Amino acid sequence: MGLAVYIGKRAVRLVLSMVAVSILTFTLLQLAPGNFADLQRVNSGATNFGGVGTESMVGELESRYGADVPVWKQYLIFMKGAVVWDFGPSYKYASRNVQDIIAEAFPVSATLAVLAVLLALLIAVPVGVFAALRQNSKSDHATMFAVTLGHALPSYLTAAFMILLFSATLKLLPSGGWNGPEDLILPVLALSLGPAAVLARYVRSSMLETLREEYVTAALAKGGPRRTVIVRHALRNSLIPLVTVAGPLLAALMTGTVFVEALLRIPGLGLYFANAAASRDMPLLMGTALFFALILMVTNLVVDLIYGLLDPRIRTVGGGADDGH
């Protein structure tokens, strides 16, 4: 299968998946109780009008936010704009278009994700190699226990614990915000521990498999320095499978920082997504959901292509990486 044909097939799959995501997200949003007009009416009545909600105010809100437009027409209007990357104005942030919010907020989430994955790799590679070289020892069991614990803890719980420790108790770091480099420390640490645990397990498993390969055994039998053989032969080849894991992890972090950003008051795309869900902001919620889906799918495609370049066996089995994923 030629590269162009393979990419074409994946592009068609991507478009169909985006349509499916849009339908599912829009349907769930419609099934959720209330809409933006209802929430605005309640909030206005409770805070600005002393409980007085006139029919004219309600009618104006319903007209402005689409409650008086048939559901199917709302979806088609939104998707017509989405095709040309125009999601329209946000309901909650009425003076801003959704695509502008995404353009402003995504670099924040991407920065956190990239730094978290880099830190996770710096932790995972030595930990995984350490455990593999001491297979079935007490050190190996203790390391894998710590890895399993790190994987089990959700990032928002880790972030909450770090806020209590480093901000409330030790007064070393700010408890949130986005004002300087020091604000990166807590979210990056919280987001990196889970991926580091996943990657460490992959490094250990891949390293054990590579150490059993004949070329490694032969290199050791010839009297080559053990450290050189491990680093130059075993470790280098063991890291290739990490590409298939690190790529999706990066995409998942870019699109999965909702709770950490909300907890630490970081103006990333996750925070806007959470606010959109809470306020039933249909354009912003739909726009961010589609953008999240696009990031995940494009990243998976890029990972498949890179893995095929790193491991020629992928290109010779079934004509491409598509059959393996």
CA distance 92 to 132: 51
pLDDT, residue 185, reads: 92
CA distance 238 to 211: 9
pLDDT, residue 290, reads: 93
> Which two tokens mark 28?
């769930």
CA distance 292 to 296: 6
- Residue 48 in this model has a pLDDT that exceeds 80: no
Q: Which amino acid is at 296?
A: L
* Burial class, 104, CB count within 10 angstroms (exposed 0-12 / middle 13-18 / buried 19+): middle
pLDDT, residue 76, reads: 87
Mean pLDDT of the chain: 80
**Residue among 84, 17, 25 at smallest CA distance from 294:** 17
Any idea which of 48-52, 87-91, 113-117 has the lowest mean pLDDT?
48-52
DSSP character string of 141-180: HHHHHHHHHHHHS-HHHHHHHHIIIIIIIS--S-SS-SSS
**Residue among 134, 114, 127 at smallest CA distance from 196:** 127
CA distance 293 to 82: 13
The per-residue pLDDT for range 271-294, each reduced to its tens digit, is 898 888 888 888 899 999 999 889
By the 8 A CB rule, do 177 and 150 touch?
A: no
Across 59-79, average pLDDT: 72
pLDDT, residue 61, reads: 53
Any idea which of 177-181, 227-231, 285-289 has the lowest mean pLDDT?
227-231
The per-residue pLDDT for range 33-44, each reduced to its tens digit, is 767 766 766 665
pLDDT, residue 115, reads: 93
Q: Bigger pLDDT: 57 or 217? A: 217
- Residue 100 in this model has a pLDDT that exceeds 90: yes
pLDDT, residue 50, reads: 39
CA distance 230 to 245: 22
The number of residues in the chain equals 325
